[in-house]
Chain A
Amino acid sequence: MTADLKLYEEIKNSGIDLILSLPCILLKGILTLINEKKEIQHIPITREEEGVGIAAGAYLGGKTPAILMQNSGLGNSVNAIKSLLELYRIPIIFIISHRGVEGERIPAQIPMGELTPNLLDILNIKKFIIDSIENIKELKKAINFNKKSKNSVAILLKRSLWNDL
């Protein structure tokens, strides 16, 4: 099974029932699967911070939403993570392609890519790393932690998951 298909199955089986997305070249395969299979409600968004707002509303309405985005979007979401999610204690799942680190070919990705793990730590968001097909199961761990602790979580998808180094 390809990395994208395995990741897709893991997301589908995790209970996530709404995906809010902005694209990244690394997310191309998984986005295609989400669109083709039509098993999980999918709404493309225009900016990641908007996704945080939509996810918060969906959580209030009883859904388990996840935001699928590139790590650059974490910077666009900081205020909403603090003054919406943390303020009201609304736990959201972020599934993030981690650009700007090992194997990156675009210099503009590097500053935010290097900051991303530290930024998640400062934001008090527990991170789970998926860097190979074998540890796609980290997603289930992340979602269990999210449900039990009522804290937002970040799942960082590394380029090595797709053998794209």
Chain B
Amino acid sequence: MKRYDAIKKIMESLTVEIIICNLGAPSRELYNIEDRDENFYMLGSMGLVSSLSFGLAISKPNKKIICIDGDGSILMNLGSLSTIANTNPQNLTLIVIDNSSYGSTGDQKTYTNYKTKLDVIAKGAGFESIVVIKEAEEIMPKLKNLGVGCHFVLIKVDPGNAQVENIPLKPEDIRIRFMKAISRA
């Protein structure tokens, strides 16, 4: 399974949830799999997708927020895990698709390729609900099984990007479209 396959399965598991997606290849892949108004694509500020998702989760406690993060990005902002776990918003699922590489910049290896275990870091940060997925067919049942809560989901995949087009939307238009969509009842 590669990241593209994982995102596809994630999208098949969801209905009305709000998605905040990591920058680079993950956002491009999500855009090509299923663009929707409730998708927010990060285009810059690597590392902050989990923080932005968390900020949204505490502001919209009645909406389910799904964050699609990556190993390289979460390693840049490990403090975010402590802030999220201690605040413990009951409407946030932080999915880290771990391909053990910086996929958007030429597949240079990250430390998760060696000794680093992100699920163990999440546990240390204080997450109480941690799910590790290694097979594509586990994604849908395991995501559907998550109830209310603050969840950390680690999906282990192989490196590699799908050949997809860039996102043609302007950053400000992504924001305006997204804000309009999430303010609907």
Q: Tell me the A residues contacting B by CB distance below 8 Å.
A: 18, 41, 43-47, 49-63, 65, 79-80, 82-84, 87-90
Contact = CB atoms under 8 A, between A and B. Distances in A.
B106 to A, nearest CB: 20
Contacts of A52: 45, 48, 51
A63 B147 CA distance: 26
25 contacts: A18-B59, A43-B87, A46-B79, A47-B77, A49-B47, A50-B80, A51-B51, A52-B45, A53-B49, A54-B51, A54-B83, A57-B55, A58-B58, A60-B56, A60-B175, A61-B60, A61-B182, A79-B44, A80-B48, A82-B44, A84-B48, A87-B44, A87-B45, A87-B171, A89-B171
Given A79-B45, A88-B174, A50 B59 contact: no
A33 B103 CA distance: 45
B53 interface: yes
B132 to A, nearest CB: 24
Interface in B64-94: 77, 79-80, 82-83, 87
A89 B77 CA distance: 23
Contacts of B179: 60
A63 B179 CA distance: 12
Nearest to A57: B55
Nearest to B175: A88
Contacts of B55: 53-61, 63, 65
Contacts of B48: 49-50, 52-53, 56, 80, 84
Contacts of B58: 18, 41, 43, 58, 61
A83 B43 CA distance: 8
A53 B45 contact: yes
Interface of B: 20, 40, 43-45, 47-60, 77, 79-80, 82-83, 87, 171-172, 174-175, 178-179, 182-183
A38 B55 CA distance: 19
A53 B52 contact: yes
A54 B50 CA distance: 8
B44 A90 contact: no
